[in-house]
Amino acid sequence: MTTSTIPVIAIDGPTASGKGTVAHRVADRLGYHYLDSGALYRLTALTALRRATPLNDEHALAKLAEHLPCSFAGGEILLANENVTDAIRAEAVGNTASQIAALPAVRQALFALQLGFRKAPGLVADGRDMGTVIFPHAPLKVFLTASADARAQRRYKQLIDKGISASIEDLLMDLNARDARDTHRAIAPLVPAEGAHVLDTSNMTADEAVDLVLKWHAAAVK
């Protein structure tokens, strides 16, 4: 099996649409590898914040992205052997990641890194441009979405469950601001890929969404 024939399921969507949960469960069910592309941008953002790298210094940020000492193991995300799974989910990191994701040099620096996750027997990749830019020829493309209110409620529950205080109003404002940046940026804006199945998860459970994606996958690989 050559790299180009390894099946890829590209799952894109806005923040808190459920794409991470769905993608992870689909990968587990199929025995595929999993790529959380958003984590790469968050890792770059976390590194930039820790090093006080100016967010308008595109060249410096691209260098950070190009040399990320990161790895994924057992559901944990490591940065130079430090477990940063929870640290990269902080709101400040997410907002910073959204800002630097609009920078062409940063996106280019992470391009090859993302392609390297395509390994047999297959890959489930979640992000914002998996089906439009990174894996445009993926046999199955899915665009998960949900109302801003539903996404804010999900994000609120995630934070509260982790013992992190949060405000629904602030989360909703952040989500709307992030959506505006992601959908209107000049490079790889957040839009459904050509031929993608658009799935609104506002009133769906994660299991229902997973079952539907697996059904689409079965039809795509026939």
Which residue type does 32 have?
A: Y
The answer on whether 15 is annotated among ligand-binding residues is yes
**Cα-based distances in Å from 184 to 16, 55, 152, 189:** 18, 19, 20, 6
The answer on whether 16 is annotated among ligand-binding residues is yes
The answer on whether 119 is annotated among ligand-binding residues is no
The answer on whether 19 is annotated among ligand-binding residues is yes
The answer on whether 21 is annotated among ligand-binding residues is yes
The answer on whether 14 is annotated among ligand-binding residues is yes
**Cα-based distances in Å from 9 to 30, 83, 106, 123, 198:** 11, 27, 24, 6, 14
* Mutual angle of helices 58-66 and 37-50, in 10-degree steps: 120
The binding site comprises: 13-21
The binding site for ATP comprises: 13-21
